[in-house]
Structure 1
Amino acid sequence: MVLTKRTSNIPLICQICGDRARGINFEVITCMSCKAFFRRHALQPANHVHCQLDDNCDITQCTRSGCSACRLKKCFTLGMNPKLIRHSLQINRQCVKKKPSLLPTPLPLNLLQNDASTLSNSEWNLLSNVIHAYDQGNAIEHTKFMLQQQSILPPKLRIKSITTMDIIGFFYTTVQSFIERTSYFQDLSIDIRQTLLQRNAEIAGAYNSLFIVREANALTYPAYLFGSSNLYGHANVPILKKFISLLENNGVLFKIMLLVIGFSNSCSIVNPDDMKYMTTVTNINSLIHIENTLVTMLWKYLNYQYGFSGAVKCFSSYVIFILNIIRWIEIGRDRQHEDLIDVCVENIDQSLVVIN
């Protein structure tokens, strides 16, 4: 699917030491060494010797064995979850008794059954690569940089709508780049690519905007907050804050859902009077296969993280959340915003023509 070991020359990088990573371990992309280190030491952090260099060691592939205290501190700082250690040990004990079956391609699940299966190795790799494909765009750090640059502009330039519009436009173009980095997208015909990106640009862009605004703390920048109020109206700000408060904290889940939306053929409202929506998708079977693969991975991940009942509640909440975003877009349509979307769609068409 996305930047797999067989389809990409870009290796996954361990977020702890920088060595070649082997997938997601305890909610963070790590190498096998850091995975084993965290498994051994995370449950007894009090037993570690103290750092000899004021807790400021640089953890790299070469130095990771030099200071266990700083290495473990970095593991916790980057989000490795010790609660999953016992869960993984339980899975390993089950695997000793029963040889796991690896699925060559994910199969659809019956959501009415209490399916307790976890993701196969290939699905974990797929999930890891989805995260890597999104993080490769470095959208959060780039947004922070743009916000900082906006805040130091002269007051007259700082509050101009076009300055804020450039930042919001970046939220939308980031989605296109994310989807284009997937091998599934490259396997689709040109007409399906154009149709997907055109139809889903607005909803996927709005969803991505909420995530980036939250992660980059954009609403703490007065210039951005003022610019957004000028563009969409002061009444829109509390609605924006409400959506952000309801957005799932699980960043992995967000990235999976964003890809599901990006490959959906029935997510956005279709306006029959707009000719750009009248394109029909040919060879729909290839697209349905991708959608089935992604939704199956999503469901297995939810079931793995939250259990069956929690997965059902989480999935239902997400569907409602996406529908509310669509409603929010339709109610609060703005001419400047529509122009922004039109420019994004036009750039998408041009980029696909150039690529092909």
Structure 2
Amino acid sequence: MKNGEHKRCLVCDDVAIGINFGVPTCMPCKAFFRRHANKQGTSKFICEDVGNCVITYKYRRVCNGCRLAKCFHVGMKKSLILSNDEREARNKLVAINRLKRGKVPKEETIVWMQPPLLLHVKQNPCQHLSPCDQVVLANIFYAYENTCIAAKNTRFQSFPSIAHTSIHKLLNELSPMFEIFIEYLKLIPEFNNLLIQDKIRIMRNHFGNMININQPLMYSVTPTNLLVTYTNVFNTDITNCLLKRNQIVNQFMFDPIVLRVLLIIVVLSSGNCRSIDDMDMDLVCDDTLSIFSAQNIYVELLWRYILSRSSNERTVVTFFNRLLMYIFHVQNIGMRIDNYMNRFTQEIELMEPMVQSMWPRKRNDENMNVSNTG
């Protein structure tokens, strides 16, 4: 089929956006067929007249039965509809290929990195990324996919499973997800090579930051059960902060790398971001130089990566400022939750050992599985 021969939708004669499920269609008919292809013959898809309704872009909503029948009549194929898993696998492959080519589509780049007027896609976007940089970025992508995303698609498809009414039940359900996140960090050489006590200390010091960045990264749309849980277990102030967090993070969600690298940068910090009076958390790490050096590696890598997506360094500075504002907001949420939790020590005592060890209660460091394992 030559260019220009599929400018009209074969179903309703609206403007076609391209070939969808085998034939030229508009966006509404594409979406209609994807949602309803398996419903032919059901009560809502049987014509109430003689089965010969006129389907045009003005009247396509009048009869779902005739519209679906026409979709099949013009040649739309149900076999070409991807399942959710197949669609996600395709999107991952597209993201990986973009990363390998150093390309992000212009429309996504504009949404991803604000303000849009400062951006353009470079002719040679990889000029700031060495081959080693690209390997490290690909490794980060795969490490997160093989741990957090793999777990989300199998064990944690619905989180939380119910709307909780107590903090300890929410965090107990979160505990195995946090263990998976630790598995992601253990695939980062600079983290895995730190002293065991330093790893434990920085995990405790940045527990809230990690949760507040990783949760919207894994679930870009806040699940209903989680929204209800927020309102059940936290006050209005904290709930509003969590909802604002999700709004802020949306500007970074169109890229498969930025937040994954940011998580590493946040963890690789020897500072204490908790609002908890605990001597151990306030102690200086044993090898602060290694932690700082490791963090610096990923800060510079993120700078070069964003520079490869930007028109100039001014844009990178603007974007980094937005990332910093997001980190400050996340830290503020963590401190508010810490202050709130200080009034509910009985909740801490009911937590699973992993998450309980994030608070200064009993010595539960042995429950932190961050040691080097095969």
2:367 aligns with: 350
Deviation readout 1:284-305 (Å, 9 max, x if unpaired): 3322321221111010011111
Q: Does 1:282 align with 2:286?
A: yes
SS, match of residue 129 in structure 2: coil
Following TM superposition, by how much is the alpha carbon of 1:85 offset from its aligned partner in structure 2, in angstroms?
Answer: 8.0
The correspondence for 1:296, drawn from 291, 300, 305, is 300
Following TM superposition, by how much is the alpha carbon of 1:353 offset from its aligned partner in structure 2, in angstroms?
Answer: 8.1
Percent of pairs with identical residues: 14
Following TM superposition, by how much is the alpha carbon of 1:349 offset from its aligned partner in structure 2, in angstroms?
Answer: 4.0
Following TM superposition, by how much is the alpha carbon of 1:236 offset from its aligned partner in structure 2, in angstroms?
Answer: 3.3
Is the Cα contact below 8 Å between 1:143 and 1:167 reproduced in 2? no
Separation of aligned partners in 2, 1:175 and 1:353? 11
Following TM superposition, by how much is the alpha carbon of 1:317 offset from its aligned partner in structure 2, in angstroms?
Answer: 0.9
The correspondence for 2:77, drawn from 20, 40, 54, is 54
Following TM superposition, by how much is the alpha carbon of 1:229 offset from its aligned partner in structure 2, in angstroms?
Answer: 1.4
Unmatched runs of 5 consecutive residues or more in structure 1:
1-44, 60-69, 96-116, 152-157
The aligned runs of 1:203-282 (5 Å cut-off) are 203-212=209-218, 214-215=219-220, 217-219=221-223, 221=224, 223-247=225-249, 248-249=252-253, 250-266=255-271, 268-269=273-274, 273-282=277-286
- AA partner of residue 136 (structure 1): N
1:42 aligns with: none
Is the Cα contact below 8 Å between 2:205 and 2:273 reproduced in 1? yes
Q: Does 1:147 align with 2:149?
A: no
Is the Cα contact below 8 Å between 1:175 and 1:205 reproduced in 2? no
Inter-CA distance 85–342: structure 2 relative to 1 (3 Å threshold): closer
SS, match of residue 273 in structure 2: coil
Following TM superposition, by how much is the alpha carbon of 1:246 offset from its aligned partner in structure 2, in angstroms?
Answer: 0.7
Following TM superposition, by how much is the alpha carbon of 1:75 offset from its aligned partner in structure 2, in angstroms?
Answer: 6.1
Inter-CA distance 231–174: structure 2 relative to 1 (3 Å threshold): farther
Q: Does 1:312 align with 2:317?
A: yes
Which is higher, the Rg of structure 1 or of structure 2?
2
Inter-CA distance 304–237: structure 2 relative to 1 (3 Å threshold): same
Separation of aligned partners in 2, 1:315 and 1:164? 32
- AA partner of residue 243 (structure 1): R
Deviation readout 1:273-328 (Å, 9 max, x if unpaired): 41221433234332232122111101001111123222111111111111122122
Unmatched runs of 5 consecutive residues or more in structure 2:
1-16, 24-74, 107-119
Inter-CA distance 354–132: structure 2 relative to 1 (3 Å threshold): closer
RMSD: 4.1
Deviation readout 1:215-257 (Å, 9 max, x if unpaired): 2x333x2x33322211113443333221101102234101010
- AA partner of residue 218 (structure 1): T
The aligned runs of 1:114-129 (5 Å cut-off) are 117-129=127-139
2:110 aligns with: none
Inter-CA distance 291–57: structure 2 relative to 1 (3 Å threshold): same
Is the Cα contact below 8 Å between 1:200 and 1:262 reproduced in 2? yes
Inter-CA distance 278–159: structure 2 relative to 1 (3 Å threshold): closer
Is the Cα contact below 8 Å between 1:146 and 1:167 reproduced in 2? no
1:136 aligns with: 146
Following TM superposition, by how much is the alpha carbon of 1:134 offset from its aligned partner in structure 2, in angstroms?
Answer: 1.3
Is the Cα contact below 8 Å between 1:299 and 1:311 reproduced in 2? yes
1:90 aligns with: 123
Following TM superposition, by how much is the alpha carbon of 1:352 offset from its aligned partner in structure 2, in angstroms?
Answer: 4.5
TM-score (norm 2): 0.58
Separation of aligned partners in 2, 1:74 and 1:185? 31
Separation of aligned partners in 1, 2:238 and 2:105? 43
Is the Cα contact below 8 Å between 1:260 and 1:291 reproduced in 2? yes
Q: Does 1:331 align with 2:341?
A: no
Deviation readout 1:138-174 (Å, 9 max, x if unpaired): 24325752438x25xxxxxx54435433334445434
Separation of aligned partners in 2, 1:302 and 1:185? 22
Is the Cα contact below 8 Å between 1:179 and 1:259 reproduced in 2? yes
In terms of mean alpha carbon deviation, does 134-143 or 331-340 score higher? 331-340
How many residue pairs get matched?
266
